[in-house]
């Protein structure tokens, strides 16, 4: 948690007290933006029904206008108010996974204008489980549209400090400081507009778990194959060039090369001038640590980041591999998140 520096221009970090949540709700009501924690990452929220407020989100983030937003809801009752149809699959998924890190893409209801979905006739809905997000949704009483609260192209924020780092001059932007996010990577996005559900973004709700509940689910293949240098189509984040390296190749990549910040499992093996950034061995803590580690690595000032490739690829590791590929420029533009 951070204290606000007196009289400086910066976002307004506050403890998420009842009063602060009531104030946040009033700001949303007036068409202003509010940053709130979720269990995945921090969100930059606006009233789903207020087109001007939605525009402010795109302007502040520098987000391309064709990238739609997730509408956050308290539960399936609120979700039903903004979608055209809530079918059996939605009912069973919300029963199993809400509140939690699963976003459902379904036909948009008539109560929501196209600005909240970048003009699409579908809408993404998710009920977050973070207590502060839920308190805010309860106080506001209807849906809050929110992308991750980062500048477009940067990694998502998992602490209030990350939000301030990305928007240092967003004077008076209210940030409800809920500490570090528990999950640390963005929600699983599942499209339900076709007969076969399709995973658009991997997340903490694994494809395996979705298949247990739904049966057939299309999902992107998990690949650890590294693109050849120069073939990356889209450099995403962090700012420092990042490279994914297998454990067996790590020593060779470090030897003689320029100083690197190294996200690694065995920090003792990374000697000066390289800087180790220790990572947990198991998937959940690894995901929770990842974006802060990338920002930490960026802040060391070295000219390259090396990420030791986690050996496992299945279950919860699939979403981590997806994010590592994006961080190292191996994901194409279509798969990018802003």
Q: Which residues bind ligand TXA (CB under 6 A)?
A: 38, 40-41, 43, 67-70, 101, 103, 105, 117, 120, 122-124, 126, 128, 146-148, 186-187, 189, 200-201, 337-338
Query: Closest distance between ligand TXA and the C-beta of residue 315, in Å?
Result: 19
The residues binding Mg ion (CB under 5 A) are: 148, 337
Query: Closest distance between ligand TXA and the C-beta of residue 208, in Å?
Result: 19
DSSP of 8-42: -SS-EEE---HHHHHHHHHHHHTT--EEE--SSS-
3-state SS class at 306:
strand
Query: Closest distance between ligand TXA and the C-beta of residue 124, in Å?
Result: 3
Query: Closest distance between Mg ion and the C-beta of residue 329, in Å?
Result: 17
Residue 69 vs 318, nearer CB to Mg ion: 69
Beta-sheet strand order (sheet of 260-264): 242-245, 304-308, 260-264, 275-278
HSE toward the beta carbon, residue 70, CA cutoff 13 A:
31
Phi, psi of 284 (to 5 degrees): -60, -50
Could you tell me which residues are beta bridge partners of residue 262? 276, 306
Beta-sheet strand order (sheet of 12-14): 12-14, 174-176, 34-36, 43-47, 144-145, 70-72, 122-126, 102-107, 188-191, 198-201
Q: Which does 247 bind (CB under 5 to 8 A by kind): ligand TXA, Mg ion, none?
A: none
Compute the distance between CA of residue 163 and CA of residue 185 in angstroms, rounded to an integer. 15
The candidate with the shortest Cα–Cα distance to 4, out of 158, 177, 155, 130, is 177
Q: Which does 187 bind (CB under 5 to 8 A by kind): ligand TXA, Mg ion, none?
A: ligand TXA
Query: Closest distance between Mg ion and the C-beta of residue 321, in Å?
Result: 18
Residue 203 vs 310, nearer CB to ligand TXA: 203
Residue number with the shortest CB distance to Mg ion? 148
Residue 38 vs 50, nearer CB to ligand TXA: 38
Residue 322 vs 337, nearer CB to Mg ion: 337
Residue 54 vs 261, nearer CB to ligand TXA: 54
């Amino acid at each position: 948690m951070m204290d606000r520096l007196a009289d400086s221009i910066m976002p307004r970090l506050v403890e998420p007290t009842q009063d602060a949540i009531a104030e946040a709700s009033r700001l949303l009501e007036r068409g202003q933006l509010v940053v709130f924690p979720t269990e995945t990452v921090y969100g930059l929220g606006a009233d789903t029904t207020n087109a001007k407020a939605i525009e402010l989100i795109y302007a502040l983030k520098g987000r391309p206008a064709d990238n739609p937003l997730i509408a956050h809801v308290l539960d399936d009752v609120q979700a039903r108010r903004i979608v055209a149809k809530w079918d059996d699959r939605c009912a069973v998924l919300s029963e199993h996974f809400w509140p939690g890190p699963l976003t459902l893409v379904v036909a948009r209801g008539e109560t929501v204008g196209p600005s909240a979905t970048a003009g699409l006739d579908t809408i993404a809905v998710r009920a977050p489980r973070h207590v502060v997000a839920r308190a805010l949704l309860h106080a506001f009483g209807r849906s809050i549209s929110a992308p991750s609260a980062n500048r477009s192209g940067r990694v998502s924020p998992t602490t209030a400090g990350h939000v301030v780092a990305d928007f240092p001059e967003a004077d008076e932007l209210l940030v409800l400081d809920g500490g570090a996010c528990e999950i640390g990577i963005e929600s699983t996005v599942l499209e339900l507009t076709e007969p076969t559900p399709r995973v658009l973004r991997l997340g903490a709700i694994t494809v395996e778990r979705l298949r247990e509940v739904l049966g057939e689910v299309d999902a992107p293949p998990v690949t650890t194959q590294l693109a050849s240098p120069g073939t990356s189509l889209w450099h995403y984040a962090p700012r420092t060039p990042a490279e994914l390296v297998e454990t067996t190749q790590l020593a060779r990549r470090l030897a003689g090369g320029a100083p690197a910040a190294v996200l690694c499992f065995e920090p003792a093996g990374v000697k000066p001038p390289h800087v180790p950034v220790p990572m947990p061995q198991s998937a959940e803590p690894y995901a929770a640590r990842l974006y802060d580690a990338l920002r930490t690595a960026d802040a060391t000032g070295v000219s390259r980041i090396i990420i030791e490739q986690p050996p496992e690829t299945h279950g919860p590791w699939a979403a981590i591999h997806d994010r590592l590929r994006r961080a190292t420029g191996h994901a194409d533009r279509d798969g990018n998140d802003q």
